[in-house]
Amino acid sequence: MKFAVLVFPGSNCDLDMYHTIKDVLGEEVEYVWHDATDLSAYDGILVPGGFSYGDYLRCGAMANQSNVMEEVKKAAEAGKPVLGVCNGFQILTEAGLLPGALLRNKNLKFICKDVNLRVVNNDTLFTNQYDKDEIITIPIAHGEGNYYCDAETLEQLQQNNQIVFTYESENPNGSLADIAGIVNERGNVLGMMPHPERAADEVLGNAQGLALFKSIVKQWRESNVNQA
């Protein structure tokens, strides 16, 4: 499987993503600059965290104007897996690929710590290697991770089982309904604030995020076998 790791001015988690895919998973991966106009050569798209364009205007708003985002939308429409982490999640909401918005943390402070997540939905291409309701520990590092949507959207997310991860025991940022990660209705676009790529290698002392990337590869391989 071949992944693209998008790089915007201000991205700072692209190296972590690249390391996870190449050195831990052993899959193909390339950095793709934000002005790219073709992502057709890639099977999966990774939108990393950081501070794209310095988080001016709104987090992710300027990144959404980059050329590559039209290609990300095409990849999503084609059913390819698209993962946005932290600032990547913010970019995906700005692009309209996921509903809702990420607001300032409730305490108005930047938070960097490990948090416990509940795998609410393990029936997605991103979570099939987890057990339902499994509790995993994944780090967060954000100032605008407070997920918000209107009541109608929240009801749709709940009815469609689009809420994938919730904060367990402690809600660090004030997110509505303890939401830490959601998918689109089709299930091939995931946005999450916690950083699975920072918990994907035993050398870091925690590899509980690796199953997310393994889930993507497993689903892709099974799909290609079935198509063949």
State whether residue 225 is helix, strand or coil.
helix
197 is catalytic: yes
**Angstrom distance (rounded) from CA 86 to CA 192:** 6
112 is catalytic: no
Task: Given the residues 86, 94, 142, 149, select the one marked as catalytic.
Answer: 86
The token pair at 23 is 């050195």
**Angstrom distance (rounded) from CA 81 to CA 66:** 20
Task: Given the residues 71, 144, 168, 197, select the one marked as catalytic.
Answer: 197
19 is catalytic: no
- Reference 121, options 33, 39, 212, 59; nearest CA is 212
Task: Given the residues 34, 59, 142, 195, select the one marked as catalytic.
Answer: 195
The answer to whether residues 39 and 72 touch, using CB atoms and an 8 Å cutoff, is yes
Task: Write out the catalytic residue numbers.
Answer: 86, 195, 197
